Every structure is written in structure tokens, then in C-alpha cells.
Amino acid sequence: MKNTRVSQLSDPRAAATTDREKAWLKILSAYRQPHPGRSTFELAVTIVPFVLLWAAAWASLHFGYWLGMVLVVPAAGFLLRLFMLQHDCGHGSFFGRRRLDDWTGRVIGVLTLTPYDYWRRAHAEHHASAGNLDERGVGDIRTLTVAEYEALTRRGRLVYRLYRHPLVMFGIGPAWLFLFKQRLPFGMMRSGALPWISTMATNAAIAALAGLLVWAVGAGPFLLIHLPIVLLAGAAGVWLFYVQHQFEDTHWSRPPEWTFQYAALHGASHYDLPRPLRWITGNIGMHHVHHLSSRVPFYRLPEVLRDYPELGDLGRITIRQSLGLVKLVLWDEGSHRLLSFREADARQTAARLALPVPA
């Protein structure tokens, strides 16, 4: 989404801290070296349990559908973790060797239904432009400013409200993304042949693997097991991505005010999860550190917060706090924070009636 209108008000937080963020970049460079043995171990303790849980869920169908569904939940957790490993491969931070990372990511992409090269390019654009109001629309969740929303037609507002509804965002959306949208990389038509080759090759591999499993266990059991796993993992993945950038004190701005360093550290949250959830999500909740230095392997992110605990307080969100974030849907360029539809409507009504704007 392109919008060249320059904001009337700049965020007073941003200009004063550029040097500090540059210093953090230098500090984090000491954590960028992956450990190949550790990376291999993390891959093994993720993919082996996933395969075993999938097989156990299938076997349990002989004793009752709901027993199999119980095992689907942890299987979805390990599929989510596989995506996080693929994510590190995309940043070249898993093994630290580009060719090995790329092929590991491509193989994992068959299991996560995510064409690796297509996704990697879109995700790189997200990292390069996160928090930039003039560079929205690739690899992120569509977020309008209050002014953009107010300029929409009634139909346009309804479409945006439906898009941001939790049932669509975390239910229909993930199903559409992982089952259908990622099968054809239409958004990358101008980016060369690689995204298309990657997508078609991934689709072929997915079809082959699915065909093999259908032959081995039957079409019904395959769909009863794998479809819920994909949908649960997809919903969890979209939720994590959502809370990492859609929180009240996040940062959005326009150049020249926008800088990569400040937007990375202050535009991404620290989703402070319990230790088991941190492990299954590959520490992705430490998203502000990841955005500032994406080459830090996921298993080294806790080292950063251990050595520099002051980073743990930046953008910190608990699970309880995160549940209220779904109502924040519009960026207000005046107050520099996300608002709910209700808040935005109240401000518009107050402005129309020349009443004091609610704090």
C-alpha cells in the first residue's frame, strides 16, 4: 500500500534514540553465529515428534475419533515449530550456510504448505519495511490509518471490518492462506522465476506426499488428521504474527522520520510467553530483538535477553494483555497508537460536533 502523504505530526519518541538503536545492532552482532550441532538437534527434536504424533493420531482413530483429535493439538504445535525453523532458514540464521539453509527450508516448506522461496522474498520485504506507513502491503497484516479508513466508502469500511474480525483473521484467513493463497504466488509475478518455480515444486511435492499418505492410510483418515493440524498450526501462526506488530504502543511512521532500527525495536513486541510456549514457538515472541537483528538464531535470542535484561521490558506483552489486542485495528497518526473502531468512531463524531476529543 503506497501513500506519499507526509504526517503532520512526527512521533517524538523516534528521533531521539537513533544512536541507541545503532548501538544495539553492534551488540547483537555477537550473537549471530549459529551452532550447527545445536541446529541439527533442534530440527531432529521437532520433526521426529511431529511424525510420531501424526502416526499416533492416525493409529488412535481405530479407538475413537476424539482420542486422535487430542493428539492433533501437540502435532499442530510441532508443525508450528517446524515453520519457525523454516523462518530461521529464510533469514540464513539456522545453519549459517545459505545453500544448506535454503534446501532445509524448502523441504520443511512441503510440511508447512509454504513455498519457501516465495515466502522468503515476501518476508524479507516485511522486515525491510516494518512500521513504514508508505511501504505496507507485502508480508504483513493490512492496517489502515484512521484517515484512510474514514475516506473509504461504506462498502469499503464493511470489507475492512470483516477482514479484521477475529473469526476471519484467525479462522478463515489462515485456512485461505495455507490451503489456497500460497499455492500460486501472484504477488511475486514481477520478482523473477524463482518464486514460481519454488511454488510449483512445493505444490508437486505436497501432492506426492499427500498421495503417498492417502494410499497408506486412506483419504478419510488423512483428512481427519492432517487438516485439523494444518488449520490449528496456521491459526496459531497468524495469531503470533498479529500480536508481534498489532499492539497499542507499536510504531508506525513515514520517511524521513521512519528508520529501520527504531521501527524494528519499537514496532515489534516482546510476547512474554511461559517457557513451554516459548520453546514450541521457537522464541519468536522475542520479536523486537529478532527484527533488529534477524541473523540471530532463534535459540540464541534468550541469551540476548539474559545478558541485556533491559530489552525484556520493551514492548512487553503477556498472554492476558494480548487477548485485548484484537480490537486495535486503525493507526492514528496524531496520537501515534492503534485504536479500536469504537475509539475511531468516537473521535470522528467528536470532531464533527466540535467536541473535545476523548483522551
Residue-wise pLDDT for 178-213, tens only, equals: 888 888 777 665 567 777 888 899 999 999 999 999
Rounded to whole angstroms, the Cα distance separating 183 from 235 reads 18
Rounded to whole angstroms, the Cα distance separating 197 from 185 reads 10
pLDDT of residue 7: 40
Rounded to whole angstroms, the Cα distance separating 267 from 321 reads 17
More confident residue, 87 or 21: 87
pLDDT of residue 194: 79
> Nearest-CA neighbor of 139 among 24, 11, 291?
291
For 237, half-sphere exposure in the C-beta direction (CA atoms, 13 angstrom radius) is 27
pLDDT of residue 12: 52
pLDDT per residue over 344-359, tens digit each?
Answer: 888 777 767 765 655 5
Omega within 30 of 0 (cis) for the link into 174: no
In the three-class reduction of DSSP (H, G, I as helix; E, B as strand; rest coil), residue 261 is classed as helix
Neighbours of 17 (CB within 10 A): 16
pLDDT of residue 164: 94
In the three-class reduction of DSSP (H, G, I as helix; E, B as strand; rest coil), residue 71 is classed as helix
DSSP secondary structure code for residue 325 in this structure: G
Q: Provide the residue ranges of all domains of the chain, joining segments of one domain with +.
A: 12-324
Q: Mean pLDDT across the stretch 55-76?
A: 89
Dihedral pair phi/psi, residue 296, rounded to 5°: -75, 120
pLDDT of residue 356: 60
> Nearest-CA neighbor of 200 among 112, 118, 139, 131?
118
pLDDT of residue 188: 60
Rounded to whole angstroms, the Cα distance separating 128 from 291 reads 9
pLDDT of residue 136: 83
Q: Mean pLDDT across the stretch 117-132?
A: 89
Across the chain, mean pLDDT equals: 88
pLDDT of residue 2: 39
Hey, what amino acid is at 171? G
Kindly indicate the confidence band of residue 287, based on its pLDDT and cuts at 50, 70 and 90: very high
Q: Are 257 and 284 in contact (CB under 8 A)?
A: no
Question: What torsion do the CA atoms of 145, 146, 151, 154 make, to the nearest 10 degrees?
Answer: 110
Q: How far is CA 158 from CA 88, 152, 219, 327, in A?
A: 37, 9, 39, 15
pLDDT of residue 169: 93
pLDDT of residue 227: 93
Rounded to whole angstroms, the Cα distance separating 310 from 308 reads 5
What order do you get walking across the sheet with 144-145 strand by strand? 144-145, 330-332, 337-339
Rounded to whole angstroms, the Cα distance separating 206 from 113 reads 7
pLDDT of residue 335: 85
pLDDT of residue 249: 84
Provide the grid cell at 183. Answer: 499455492
Hey, what amino acid is at 105? G
More confident residue, 51 or 352: 51
Rounded to whole angstroms, the Cα distance separating 29 from 58 reads 45
Q: Can you tell me which residue has the cell 493439538?
A: 73
Rounded to whole angstroms, the Cα distance separating 150 from 153 reads 8
In the three-class reduction of DSSP (H, G, I as helix; E, B as strand; rest coil), residue 14 is classed as helix
Provide the grid cell at 161. Answer: 471490518
More confident residue, 307 or 136: 307
Whether pLDDT at 8 is above 50: no
pLDDT per residue over 132-162, tens digit each?
Answer: 999 887 778 899 999 999 999 999 999 999 9
pLDDT of residue 180: 84
Helix, strand, coil percent values for the chain (each to nearest 5): 65, 5, 30
